[in-house]
Structure 1
Amino acid sequence: MSEDKGVETREDAGGDRLIGVALDDDSIGRGNPDQEHERAIAIFDILESNRFAIPGRTGPYALTLGLVENKLSFAIKSEAGEPVMTHLLSLTPFRRVIRDYEMICESYYNAIRTASPTQIEAIDMGRRGLHNEASETLKQRLDGKVDLDHDTARRLFTLIFALHWKG
């Protein structure tokens, strides 16, 4: 993977958490301005509050996400920059939920313009349900490799979704 541009970090963090998140530009590529904005927000949210632990190790960690042979690569380094592990995660279990999530988000944004508050709330409940489903799938797929809390899994799924979002 290439040198990463735009690595965001939180210097004041410690323990079992992420202090840096980057995207590998060579394998993921740059997005359009809307995609880049969504990715930046997702990274900011992850870094604001997260729990990211590797069994048997002590953090904090820096994470670079990339794509390797259609799998999501979690390249994890120590705070000092030493490689800790790389885990390849198949995206196949996420394809349906990403597609459904994209459709429901589109419905939500369209509903904001014309629907009643009750209709918007119903769509948003469905969106949150799909987001929770994807977060649980992510936690299960990383089980034994990386321990995440629910909120961190949600934020990571938001970033994974932002990598696929067409804008």
Structure 2
Amino acid sequence: MPEARDPRYRLTAVVLDEASIARSTPDVEHERIAAIWDLVEDADFRPSGHAGGPYKLSIGLLDKKLMLEITDAGGAPVAAHILSLNPLRKIVKDYFLICESYYQAIRTATPSQIEAIDMGRRGVHDEGSRVLRERLDGKVAVDHDTARRLFTLICALHWKG
């Protein structure tokens, strides 16, 4: 049985800045919605120097940098972080390429071909999550699954449709 999450370190809402995202394909929209739902249901999100929430997280782009604004459940500011996206740019680009291949494959390829592409997709996604955790070090502690979902949302901010 999985260990219960500490309710002080959960997210009650995750909002993407509408000015930062463009509408995209149904597949990308579905992944974005699922990532937000999963974050609200099961994130481990611990802003440094703060005793606990729960928290609301707003994510956007500001001058081609990642902007994370964290408030408590009542809306009081907890932290704001602006992070360079340079360490993630190549990973995001690679992720887009493999996702396009994956979405095409699920319509026409054999199950073994789909599985091979999906394994590659998950590997690139894990790499992006690892780099994101490094970028957040000292600012916000997140577990592996939370980092994966946040990486999905960062990709949604970069998707040009």
Q: What is the TM-score with the length of structure 2 in the denominator?
A: 0.87
| Aligned equivalents of 2:67, 2:24: Cα separation in 1 | 22
Question: Matches of 1:79 and 1:72 in 2, distance apart?
Answer: 22
Aligned position for 1:90: 84
Instruction: Identify which of 90, 99, 104 aligns with 2:98.
Output: 104
- Which is further off, 91-100 or 129-138? 91-100
Q: Report the alpha carbon displacement of residue 139 of structure 1 after superposing the two structures with TM.
A: 0.4
Q: Pick the aligned partner of 1:163 from 150, 157, 160.
A: 157
TM-score norm. by structure 1 comes to 0.84
Match of 1:3 in 2: none
- Shift of residue 37, structure 1, vs aligned partner: 4.7
Identity over the aligned pairs, expressed in percent? 56
| Counterpart Cα distance in 1 of 2:36 and 2:141 | 18
2:35 — aligned with what? 42
* Residue-pair matches, total: 154
Pick 1 or 2: higher relative contact order, CA cutoff 8 A, min separation 6.
Answer: 2
Unpaired runs of 5+ in structure 2? 1-5
For residue 76 of structure 1, report the CA deviation from its aligned partner: 0.5
Distance (Å, rounded) in 2 between the aligned partners of 1:128 and 1:30? 24
State the alpha-carbon separation in 1 of the partners of residues 113 and 24 from structure 2.
Answer: 30
Q: Which residue of 1 aligns with 2:60?
A: 66
Q: 2:69 aligns with which of 56, 60, 75?
A: 75
Give CA deviations for 1:23-65 in whole Å, capped at 9, x if unaligned.
2234x15524735554333211211210000223112111111
Aligned to 1:10: none
CA RMSD between the two structures: 1.8
